[in-house]
């Protein structure tokens, strides 16, 4: 399963970028059946060797790529993300997040810098979601970089929605192919209520079963920002989404990433759900990561 670079590719990289010649770039074994791989021997503060950036094989095969032991400023992380496409401006979450041209900060700190547990709030990233599906053009990739972690826990968990789709029975697949999901920010807080007029105006509909634009693999597209199924009664659509979310997040479709400071992890939002895991005392310990989100294409 490991996708090693060939010797000639390593030689090309080493010749083009002398700093890499001292350590061989290695792509490790798959971290779980659901995905994940670690790439070592690469310094992300410098431009990526084109053999790595253009190859994309690790990203498409394993969906989650871990680059351990990185030392990155927020500007360098932004520049890293920009090599893959257009980086989304930060949406103003937390202090320091409104500057453009830097990765923005994800943390459990309040305005005074004290840790606080907001994990149970409907909109928190501790619920299964894909990033910004309520955009007409949602992100293809997210990069998250671990800056400060609790002594234990504070993990991020992923669920492979392509595996989940493939595991559905034929009847269910036929029933859901062609359906469209209505997404909006705040859908998870709505409970049984209808979207407000403002929410309806801001909502977008995407295919419930989307086809990966680069691999052609079909995957479920749903999660915490999904409200209902277009053209179906709210309750009926929400019940279907709830059933499919329970299926998609079964243990065999998951990979749990246990962070180390310096890990930069990229993942594919087009075929994965993810969530932060509240398996530490959020009111006591700080958890700080830097995030960069790269725009994708309109889901089809």
Shortest CB 221 distance to Fe ion, Å: 14
110 is catalytic: no
Given the residues 30, 74, 129, 180, the one annotated as active site: 129
3-state secondary structure the chain: CCCCCCHHHHHHHHHHCHHHHHCCCEECCCCCCCCCEEEECCCCCCCCCHHHHHHCHHHHHHCEEEECCCCCCHHHHHHHHHCCCCECCCCCCCCCCCCCCCCEEEECECCCCCECCCCCCCCCCCCCECCCCCCCCCEEEEEEEEEECCCCCCCEEEEEHHHHHHCCCHHHHHHHCCCEEEECCCHHHCCCCCCCHHHHHHCEEEECEEECCCCCCEEECCCCCEEEECCCCHHHHHHHHHHHHHHHCCHHHEEEECCCCCCEEEEECCCEEEEECCCCCCCCCCCEEEEEEEECCCCC
By beta-carbon proximity to Fe ion, the closer residue of 228 and 291 is: 291
Given the residues 274, 275, 287, 290, the one annotated as active site: 274
131 is catalytic: yes
Binding site for Fe ion (CB under 5 A): 125, 131
By beta-carbon proximity to Fe ion, the closer residue of 36 and 49 is: 36
By beta-carbon proximity to Fe ion, the closer residue of 227 and 269 is: 269
Given the residues 30, 62, 63, 131, the one annotated as active site: 131
Shortest CB 275 distance to Fe ion, Å: 8
Shortest CB 129 distance to Fe ion, Å: 6
By beta-carbon proximity to Fe ion, the closer residue of 97 and 125 is: 125
291 is catalytic: yes
112 is catalytic: no
Residues with a known catalytic role: 129, 131, 274, 291
């Amino acid at each position: 399963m490991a996708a090693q670079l060939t010797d000639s590719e390593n030689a090309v990289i080493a010749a083009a970028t002398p700093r890499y010649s001292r350590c061989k770039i290695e792509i490790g074994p798959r971290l779980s059946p659901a995905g994940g791989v670690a790439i070592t021997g690469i310094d992300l503060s410098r431009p990526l060797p084109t053999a790595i950036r253009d190859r994309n094989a690790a990203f498409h095969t394993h969906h989650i790529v871990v680059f351990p032991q990185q030392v990155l400023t927020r500007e360098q992380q932004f520049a890293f993300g920009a090599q893959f496409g257009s980086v989304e401006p930060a949406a103003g979450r937390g202090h320091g997040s409104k500057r453009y041209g830097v990765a923005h900060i994800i943390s459990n700190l309040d305005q005074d810098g004290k840790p606080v547990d907001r994990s149970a709030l409907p909109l928190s990233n501790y619920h299964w979601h894909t990033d910004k599906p309520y955009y007409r053009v949602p992100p293809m990739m997210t990069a998250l970089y671990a800056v400060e972690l609790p002594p234990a826990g504070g993990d991020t968990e992923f669920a492979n929605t392509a595996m989940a789709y493939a595991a559905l029975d034929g009847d269910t697949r036929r029933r859901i192919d062609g359906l469209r999901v209505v997404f909006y920010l705040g859908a998870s807080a709505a409970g049984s209520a209808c979207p407000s007029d403002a929410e309806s105006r801001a909502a977008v509909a995407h295919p419930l079963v989307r086809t990966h634009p680069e691999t052609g693999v079909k995957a479920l597209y749903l999660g915490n920002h999904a409200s209902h199924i277009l053209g179906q009664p709210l309750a009926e659509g929400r019940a279907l989404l709830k059933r499919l979310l329970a299926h998609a997040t079964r243990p065999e479709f998951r990979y749990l990433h246990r962070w180390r400071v310096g890990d930069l992890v990229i993942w594919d939002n087009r075929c994965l759900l993810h969530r932060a895991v509240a398996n530490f005392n959020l009111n006591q310990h700080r958890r700080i990561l830097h995030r960069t989100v790269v725009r994708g294409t309109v889901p089809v």
